[in-house]
Amino acid sequence: MPLESKLVIPGLFDVNTMRVSLMTMTWMFFSKPRRNHGPKLPLAPLMAAHVMWALLSTAYSLSFVVSIKQLLSQVVEFYLMYYILAKTLTKMETVHRMLYAMLLAMGLCCVFSTLEVFASWSVLRIFPASNWITYNGGLDPLYTELGRGLRVRGTFPHPILFGDALAISIVLCLYLLGFWARGRQRVVLWSILMLMFWSIYKTQSRGPWLATVVCCMLMFFMVKKAVRRYLLTAAAMALIVLVVRPGVWQSIDALYQATTDPTQPVGTSYLYRHALMESIEQSVAKEPARVLLGYGLGTFRVLGLEVDFLGQKKIWYTCDNNWAAFLYETGYVGLILIMLLLFWPMFLALRNYWILGPPEGTLSGVLFITMAGFYFLLISVAAYSWGQQGYMNWILISISVSLPRIRALRLWAAKKRRLESEARQSFEIGSEREMPVPVIV
């Protein structure tokens, strides 16, 4: 659901659809009696360390109120959702249905993006104009940019965030097509896959394009079976589109040429990211406390930072590098902690890919690819703390750390059924031996 779907409580925090869903999950989770505390959470110590450091950073923040709100959003919500999912996931079928539901939602976002292109209408218009996230002075949620024209965003705050979610979803869609979908589900997923490729092209976002290509290449080498055939089919379809519609290739080439031209707005965006990182490093180094604690969660977007860009010093409020944002808001210690917290499950997923057998090992490899792609995309946009992608990533992390337990439960259940079957067969054989032989007179 979009961030525009919210109820604003003045002076406090917004009640949006995602928070209502999380509160419902929390109530359902804790209202159900449980026999034990469940499995240990692999990331619990790192989470505790990050929470403590985020609290210290918030106490020393430039804006205590802003940081408290971001603490609720970035820390409490993500980690609470992780806790609930990691404690409850026990079956692969549940995991597959979760991924399928996620892809259905992304497919709906792609349908909304077609309305942006062909009807010049955004679904975000159904929400109050005061809630819109706009880039043209609040006139319309449609996103139009000089040099790139209309860029679709679906229900996401920005086209590049929509592209980030699509890059991850394309990988998940290919996995479900190869290992889970049957019958009508295959038709639905193929339709969604084509819509997602079209939508990611229409975002006109270079980072998601590159991430999609790299992730698909990793899928080809790491995940076998029908996925390779599907990747080749998708590549062939893309080649046909480029031949039949030369304008598509021309627009891609024009965007590449503009990217390498520092005099073009598209080209200066890369220069800005370099200047941004330098300004953040200089700002954090001004005093020892800021080196350790940063300036507080959420302060960059609200208070801004003076960046020396193209010979001019100006206050900027967009941090197009989430790793740099981590450094600015929580200091070097906070940056190290969040990197450990995000990269450790990615390492575990790669390890599980090698040591677990299918299907859990296969999905572990796919989740490794999605996490690697998402962390690469954080270099070019604040995708972790802004938009729906942060929730998506933590759902995938929760699934990833649950897979070894899911496999253990599946093997235990299979062994139990086998023992019960053997015991039943032994009982039946024993009963037959003890039956008296009828005497024929």
Q: Are the C-beta atoms of 240 and 248 separated by less than 8 Å?
A: no
Q: Which of 58-62, 337-341, 354-358, 406-410 has the highest mean pLDDT?
A: 337-341
In whole angstroms, what is the distance from residue 165 CA to residue 182 CA?
24
The residue with greater pLDDT, 68 or 248, is 68
13-17, 208-212, 234-238 — which is least confidently predicted?
13-17
- Select the more confidently predicted residue: 344 or 302: 344
Condensed to tens digits (0 to 9), the pLDDT of residues 171-205 reads: 999 999 988 888 899 999 999 999 999 999 999 88
Alpha helices for 245-321 (secondary structure H): 246-259, 265-284, 288-293, 299-303
Percent of the chain topping pLDDT 70 = 91
Confidence band for 148, pLDDT divided at 50, 70 and 90: confident
Q: What is the pLDDT of residue 430?
A: 64
Mean predicted lDDT score pLDDT of the chain = 86
For the segment 337-351, the average pLDDT, to the nearest whole number, is 96
Between CA 6 and CA 106 the distance in angstroms is 20
Q: What is the pLDDT of residue 212?
A: 94
Highest mean pLDDT among 155-164, 336-345, 355-364 belongs to 336-345
Check whether 298 has a pLDDT greater than 50.
yes
Amino acid, single-letter form, for residue 41: L
> What are the tokens at 138?
């609040």
Instruction: Look up residue 337 and give its amino acid.
Output: L
Residue 99 — very low, low, confident or very high, per pLDDT cuts 50/70/90?
very high
Residue 182 vs residue 257, higher pLDDT: 182
Is the pLDDT at 12 greater than 90? The verdict is no
Distances (CA, A) of 91 to 36, 178, 214: 18, 19, 30
**What does the alpha-carbon distance between residue 170 and residue 247 come to, in Å, rounded to a whole number?**
24
Q: Please state the separation of Cα 39 from the chain's center in Å.
A: 24
CB neighbours of residue 218 within 10 Å: 18
Q: Which residue has the higher pLDDT, 34 or 287?
A: 287
| Weakest-pLDDT range from 100-114, 140-154, 209-223 | 140-154
310/215: higher pLDDT: 215
Please report where in the chains the tokens 């939508």 appear, as a residue.
199
Whether pTM > 0.95 for this model: the answer is no
- List phi, psi (to 5°) of 108: -65, -40
The contacts found for 236-240 with CB under 8 angstroms, 24 or more apart, are: 237/194, 238/197
Mean pLDDT lowest among 49-53, 134-138, 337-341: 134-138
Helix (H) or strand (E) holding 308: strand 305-309
Tokens of 174: 């290919």
Average pLDDT for 127-149: 79
DSSP letter for each residue of 133-152: --SSTTS-S-EEETTTEEE-
In this predicted structure, what is the pLDDT of residue 441? 41
**Cα separation values, 66 from 50, 175, 236, 297, 300, Å:** 18, 39, 49, 7, 10
Cβ distance 384 to 186 under 8 Å?
no
Return d(Cα 85, Cα 401) in angstroms, integer. 10
Burial label for 51, CB within 10 Å (0-12, 13-18, 19+), is: middle
Task: Return the minimum-mean-pLDDT range out of 5-19, 93-107, 350-364, 422-436.
Answer: 422-436
Q: What is the pLDDT of residue 316?
A: 83
Please check the confidence at residue 136 and state whether its pLDDT lies above 80. Answer: no
Q: What are phi and psi of 316, to 5 degrees?
A: -110, 145
Could you tell me the CA-to-CA distances from 328 to 294, 325, 376 in Å, in that order? 5, 5, 19
pLDDT above 50 (res 440): no
b vs e for 126-155, b when ≥16 Cβ sit within 10 Å of the residue's Cβ?
ebeeebbbebeeeebbbbeeeebeebbbbb
Residues 6-23: what's their mean pLDDT?
A: 78
Over residues 20-35, the mean pLDDT reads: 83
C-alpha–C-alpha distance, residues 203 and 255, integer Å: 12
Number of residues assigned to the chain: 441
CB-based contact 209:159 (threshold 8 Å): no
